[in-house]
Amino acid sequence: MAVLGTWAFSESAVDQLRSLISSGRQATDAVEEALAAAEDDPGTGRHIVGRGGFPNSAGVLECDAAIMEGGAGRFGAVAALRGVGSPVRVARSVMERSPHSLLVGEGAVGFAREQGFTVEPNEAMLTPHSTQAYQEFVEKKNQPSGHDTLGLIALDLMGNITVGVSTSGAPFKSPGRVGDSPLPGCGLYADHTVGAAAATGDGDKIMCFCPSFHVVQQMKQKGSCPGDACRAVLTDILCRVEPAKRFEIGLIAMNMKGEVGAASSVEFPYTFWKRDMVKVQTCISVPLDSHGDKPGE
């Protein structure tokens, strides 16, 4: 029994996951509930997640979300979804009720309406903060830094493992742009025989390497612990990318024992809780170099 999340701002979501898992909730239900609460919180938008996130270059908020269970073929995602405050709930519905695995744009909106979700006008999805940021982008081309994605992994009392991710994407992106987050193997991956992984960072670059799949495969084929698996995959990426073209990436992983780990190209805080821990803890992953070493090693 364990839970894990990307970035320091995931602490409240991970704490909610801890409470839900401890009370016996199934992993998928818990991940959906905790992610949805974060998505629909306007304050989380500052971290490029859900309501209050940064809009695209046309001033429209488009969100990506996905959920994946450890069982084969158990995946659902939405991308460039407009007007829904909790995209992960629509992604869960895609997994449960659609013959497809990924719906995008107007198709995702239409499916959401069919499933009874409220589709709000764009103005309701923005906040004064995101509206002002967009105005500054239009007037001054100010571009906020960061590529945050909220990723959550939960291992429940019954031994089920689920990973979910959500993001409003790169600030002021081109309309219709989709990053790594809702793509299986890229932004997230789960295998109930091994564990699960999630990625965060520059999605346009991350998707080219399918890192979440490879982290899980490292744990499966080589028996690596989560931390070693994350470091091995990141080291391979860094070796293949020219130093001048290095990009922001953070990886988290959990195995079926509830062990957790992370690796990153930038300073990367992540939060976690495991059975017998009193409360959620935050750890810092320090950047690796191209040899897989941390500074000073």
Is 178 annotated as a binding-site member? yes
Is 223 annotated as a binding-site member? no
Is 177 annotated as a binding-site member? yes
- Which is the catalytic residue, given 6, 149, 167, 271? 149
Dist. CA 215–CA 197, nearest whole Å = 7
SS (H, E, C) the chain: CEEEEECHHHHHHHHHHHHHHHCCCCHHHHHHHHHHHHHCCHHHHHHCCCCCCCCCCCCCCCEEEEEEECCCCCEEEEEEECCCCCHHHHHHHHHHHCCCCEEEHHHHHHHHHHCCCCCCCHHHHCCHHHHHHHHHHHHHCCCCCCCCCEEEEEECCCCCEEEEEEECCCCCCCCCCCCCCCCECCCEEEECCCEEEEEEECHHHHCCCCHHHHHHHHHHHCCCCHHHHHHHHHHHHHHHCCHHHCCCEEEEEEECCCCEEEEECCCEEEEEEECCCCCCEEEEECECCCCCCCCCC
Is 179 annotated as a binding-site member? yes
Residues 180 and 193 sit within 8 Å (Cβ to Cβ) = no
Q: Look up residue 73 and give its two tokens.
A: 């073929």
Phi and psi at residue 283, to the nearest 5°: -120, 160
| Active site (annotated) includes residue 118 | no
Is 240 annotated as a binding-site member? no
Is 180 annotated as a binding-site member? yes
Residue stretches of the annotated binding site for substrate: 177-180, 200-203
Residue stretches of the annotated binding site: 177-180, 200-203
Q: Catalytic residue numbers?
A: 149
